[in-house]
């Protein structure tokens, strides 16, 4: 059902749950892993927001389902599920424990899902979806959706819908410390600098190979690379392209991803409410120069919201109802502000190149760069004309339609372009109810064409991600969806 034919076989470790228990890691090392992550917590490690992927990447949380290497829903806390009708699916739970030692019960799962459904803002994985959950005895949960949801099992694999123990939820907060179910227990967090995790000896699939994890949050990409070279960390995620040539042989791991770097243009306020000016920005940007220059060939020129790792190399429909670009006289001296963040080290350079290209077209451009946690709220509030961002287009649901729903519809939970277009909403709604894989693919590409037709987004490059991994470390999960990094079998 998912549109990810090229992602199969891209994992260095198995990113899906295993079933062969502790024997799979016998004889492995027992050392603690030292990991440098690019993004510090921004929401107190709430599983319902951007921090959810930090928890999944460190092996703290799990959902009812997981995605296998093909992007198909696989068992996780639910060992199986049965579709009763187009609105109701019953999930049967496996015997598993929370990090508290309490069993994972149907009542606990229902509470966790209810917390996600009522969270404000709602998790991106639930954009455009209404669901309820009820316990059937101790080991079965019936999930009911208001409208047919052909990808419900995939949706429930989203990191934002992880299941935490009942004690994690107090008032409007969700505390993952000691409340997950994954192979590692989060024991402490020191602000935005450091987190400690211990092996969970009673994990349902057997204890992890590593005794624990020391995670450092290092926003600066060069600093992450330096920490790896100096031996301070064993794994450094998202190394800058500029560091690729300096990394020793056998250390650099390149992975094709579903991540697209784009310009998100403010359609709700400021000068870019004019579609002709947005079209002029699209025409002024040279994506090939960015892919070959800034990314040094570790990226492909932007063609759409989705890159080749998501939809393959087939043709996509032309954008619909696109405005003609404004002429030079209309552009002359138009002032715009471009903003981006430096957690992904290429982005400031991308923004600078785009600034130069737009100034050459006649715009007057101001550039603002901050750390992501200090810029996200302003970007979502429409404080900038242009936001340069790198977005994993399969992150929220594992289904490409998810990013169109959350990022480009009127009720989307993450919409820096502030786009609200009836044509886009209609195309997304049409695709959402289709279950047939080929028909769904065609409808999603039609919805993408509707989004591109608004020029609310200008795709720049489709990225490959570079991780640094000490050669002594085995079975790091090189996940194209960027949901996982350290797993049960990861060790040194």
Q: Which domains does the chain have, with CATH numbers?
A: 21-217 (3.40.190.10), 257-463 (3.10.105.10)
The whole-number pLDDT of residue 29 equals 54
Q: Are strands 212-217 and 364-370 parallel, antiparallel or unpaired?
A: unpaired
Backbone angles phi, psi at 21, to 5 degrees: 65, -165
Q: Are 261 and 302 in contact (CB under 8 A)?
A: yes
State whether residue 479 is helix, strand or coil: coil
Q: Are 413 and 330 in contact (CB under 8 A)?
A: no
Tokens in use for 9?
A: 């076989």
The whole-number pLDDT of residue 413 equals 84
d(Cα 281, Cα 357) in Å, to the nearest integer?
A: 9
The whole-number pLDDT of residue 4 equals 40
Q: Are strands 252-265 and 73-75 parallel, antiparallel or unpaired?
A: unpaired
Instruction: Tell me which residues of the chain have a pLDDT lower than 50.
Output: 1-28
As a dihedral over the C-alpha atoms of residue 156, residue 162, residue 167, residue 170, rounded to 10 degrees, the angle is -90
Q: Are 341 and 371 in contact (CB under 8 A)?
A: yes
Angle at 487 between CA 481 and CA 491, to 5 degrees: 130
Beta partners for 173? 170
d(Cα 152, Cα 89) in Å, to the nearest integer?
A: 9
The whole-number pLDDT of residue 20 equals 38
């Amino acid at each position: 059902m998912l549109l990810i034919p090229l992602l199969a076989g891209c994992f260095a470790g198995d990113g899906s749950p295993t079933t062969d228990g502790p024997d799979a890691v016998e004889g492995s090392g027992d050392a603690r892993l030292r990991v440098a992550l690019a993004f510090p917590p921004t929401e107190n490690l709430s599983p319902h927001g951007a921090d959810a992927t930090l928890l999944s990447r460190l092996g703290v949380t799990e959902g009812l389902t997981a995605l296998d290497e093909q992007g198909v829903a696989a068992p996780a806390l639910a060992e199986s599920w049965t579709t009763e009708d187009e609105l109701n699916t019953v999930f049967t739970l496996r015997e598993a424990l929370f990090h508290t030692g309490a069993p994972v019960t149907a009542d606990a799962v229902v509470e966790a899902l209810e917390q996600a459904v009522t969270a404000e803002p709602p998790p991106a994985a639930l954009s455009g979806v209404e669901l309820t959950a009820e316990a059937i005895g101790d080991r079965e949960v019936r999930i009911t959706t208001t409208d047919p949801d052909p990808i419900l099992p995939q949706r429930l694999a989203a990191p934002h819908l992880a299941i935490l123990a009942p004690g994690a939820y107090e008032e409007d907060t969700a505390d993952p410390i000691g409340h997950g179910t994954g192979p590692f227990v989060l024991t402490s967090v020191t602000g935005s600098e450091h987190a400690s995790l211990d092996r969970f000896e009673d994990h349902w699939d057997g204890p992890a190979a590593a005794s624990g994890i020391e995670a450092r949050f290092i926003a600066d990409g060069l600093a992450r690379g330096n920490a790896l070279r100096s031996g301070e960390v064993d794994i450094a995620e998202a190394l800058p392209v500029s560091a690729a040539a300096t990394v020793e042989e056998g250390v650099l791991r390149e992975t094709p991803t579903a991540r697209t770097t784009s310009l998100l243009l403010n359609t709700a306020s400021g000068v870019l409410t004019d579609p002709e000016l947005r079209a002029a920005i699209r025409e002024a940007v040279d994506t090939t120069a960015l892919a070959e220059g800034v990314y040094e060939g570790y990226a492909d020129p932007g063609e759409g919201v989705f890159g080749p790792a998501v939809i393959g190399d087939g043709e996509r429909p032309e954008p619909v109802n696109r405005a003609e670009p404004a002429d030079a006289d209309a552009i002359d001296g138009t002032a715009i502000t471009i903003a981006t963040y430096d957690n992904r080290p290429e982005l400031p350079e991308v923004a600078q190149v785009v600034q130069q290209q737009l100034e050459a077209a006649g715009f007057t451009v101001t550039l603002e760069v901050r750390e992501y946690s200090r810029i996200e709220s302003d970007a979502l509030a429409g404080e900038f004309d242009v936001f340069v961002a790198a977005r994993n287009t399969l992150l929220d649901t594992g289904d490409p339609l998810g990013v169109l729903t959350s990022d480009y519809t009127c009720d989307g939970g993450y919409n820096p372009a502030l786009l609200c277009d009836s044509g886009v909403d209609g195309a997304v709604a049409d695709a959402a109810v289709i279950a047939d894989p080929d028909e769904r693919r065609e409808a999603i590409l039609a919805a993408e064409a509707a989004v591109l037709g608004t020029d609310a987004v200008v795709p720049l490059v489709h990225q490959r991600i570079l991780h640094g991994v000490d050669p002594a470390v085995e079975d790091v999960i090189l996940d194209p969806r960027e949901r996982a990094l350290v797993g049960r079998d990861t060790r040194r």
